[in-house]
């Protein structure tokens, strides 16, 4: 047992990580049961084994610190008898997206940790999530359902930006320069993430029980569609075709496999990740129109996430993080 107490940041980040893993395990349980392909089932089972082990590690730390374990998500949040809502390709695409999201969060959490065992824990979490991401990416590429980013000519010499016109994009009377490779990468990742999110919202909208939750997922789907359209246009403006093949389909089932609480939390997690991703996109973009669109996306995503929090509070689904002592 470590004699150094958990710091506030370590406790808060572990609390978040436990809830994320608890949610992901419930989704994986359902996906494994409904999977129809042996290779898909194997990848999902491997991810489940990894995440079960890591969830237990957090539980042990909480127990050793005499800290209450979050309620998070349990058997009541998944209906294993519900028909397949997402096909096998989307199940893998979902796990791939979560691998991308969580590996980024765990790298951030490691940088906020001071105890050696907690730093080591996040390094393990990051490595595990990168392994899951790699396996799911390779599977989708092998099946031909995950397009690769565009290819551009290799540079032959070093160039420098020597004209302010490089940032042009909003003036309709001046020609926009083509996107540079950094911008292409940011646009492409936004496009890919929101296409996956659009299908997730479509499925959640289809099975949600509460009317305001259903409307919220419809709003999320429309927001994702708007972002996909915007990012596709940026590629097309630079004579780069937007990808036409994407992994996964939503079935016509209307029987909910997950509780509204779990689906809302999942949406909240992805919305917050989207806010971070778009802020990075804005920071590394030079063209003014791209900056403006990234800012618009951030504003709309923030409003969407904020309204999602209100729904979580309304139904008593928002578990309160550990806090400082109230000495008032």
Per-residue pLDDT at 173: 56
| Separation between Cα atoms, residue 309 and residue 305, nearest integer Å | 6
Same domain, 119 and 186: no
Same domain, 139 and 226: no
CA angle 215, 290, 154 (to 5 degrees): 125
| Residue 158 counted as domain residue | no
| Separation between Cα atoms, residue 200 and residue 182, nearest integer Å | 27
Same domain, 138 and 177: no
Range of the domain at 280: 167-314
Total count of residues recorded for the chain: 328
Same domain, 75 and 178: no
Q: What percent of the chain has pLDDT over 70?
A: 95
Helical ranges in 115-254 per DSSP H: 116-143, 181-207, 211-237
pLDDT in tens, 199-242: 999 999 999 999 999 999 999 999 999 999 999 998 998 888 88
Per-residue pLDDT at 162: 87
Same domain, 263 and 125: no
Of 107-116, 185-194, 231-240, 283-292, minimum mean pLDDT range: 283-292
| Residue 269 counted as domain residue | yes
| Separation between Cα atoms, residue 279 and residue 163, nearest integer Å | 25
pLDDT in tens, 63-92: 999 999 999 999 999 999 999 999 999 999
Residue 175: pLDDT band (50, 70, 90) is: confident
Same domain, 55 and 121: yes
CATH label of the domain that carries residue 103: 1.20.1260.10
Same domain, 75 and 121: yes
| Residue 63 counted as domain residue | yes
Same domain, 188 and 61: no
| Separation between Cα atoms, residue 255 and residue 199, nearest integer Å | 16
Nearest to 48 by CA among 28, 22, 67: 28
pLDDT in tens, 111-144: 999 999 999 999 999 999 999 999 999 999 999 9
pLDDT at 252 over 90: yes
CA angle 92, 201, 237 (to 5 degrees): 85
User: What total of structural domains would you count in the chain?
Assistant: 2
């Amino acid at each position: 047992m470590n004699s150094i107490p958990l710091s506030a940041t370590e406790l808060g980040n572990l609390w978040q990580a436990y809830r994320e893993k608890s949610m992901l395990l419930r989704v994986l349980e359902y996906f494994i049961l409904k999977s129809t392909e042996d290779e898909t089932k194997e990848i999902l089972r491997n991810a489940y084994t990894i995440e079960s082990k890591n969830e237990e590690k957090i539980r042990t730390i909480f127990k050793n610190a005499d800290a209450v374990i979050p309620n998070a998500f349990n058997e009541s949040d998944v209906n294993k008898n519900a028909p397949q809502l997402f096909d096998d390709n989307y199940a893998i695409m979902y796990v791939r997206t979560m691998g991308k999201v969580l590996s980024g969060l765990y790298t951030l959490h490691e940088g906020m940790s001071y105890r050696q065992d907690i730093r080591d824990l996040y390094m393990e979490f990051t490595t595990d999530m990168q392994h899951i991401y790699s396996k799911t990416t390779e599977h989708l590429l092998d099946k031909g359902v995950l397009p690769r980013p565009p290819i551009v000519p290799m540079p032959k010499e070093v160039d420098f930006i020597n004209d302010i016109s490089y940032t042009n994009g909003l003036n309709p009377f001046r020609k926009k320069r083509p996107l540079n490779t950094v911008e292409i990468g940011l646009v492409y990742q936004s496009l890919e993430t929101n296409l996956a999110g659009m299908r997730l919202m479509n499925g959640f909208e289809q099975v949600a029980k509460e009317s305001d939750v259903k409307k919220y997922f419809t709003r999320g789907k429309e927001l994702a569609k708007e972002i996909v359209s915007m990012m596709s246009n940026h590629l097309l403006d630079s004579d780069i075709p937007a990808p036409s093949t994407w992994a996964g389909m939503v079935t016509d089932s209307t029987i909910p496999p997950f509780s509204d609480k779990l689906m809302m939390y999942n949406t909240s997690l992805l919305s917050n990740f989207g806010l971070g991703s778009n802020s990075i996109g804005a920071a590394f973009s030079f063209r003014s129109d791209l900056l403006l669109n990234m800012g618009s996306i951030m504003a709309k995503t923030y409003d969407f996430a904020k309204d999602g929090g209100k729904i979580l509070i309304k139904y008593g689904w928002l578990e309160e993080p550990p806090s400082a002592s109230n000495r008032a």
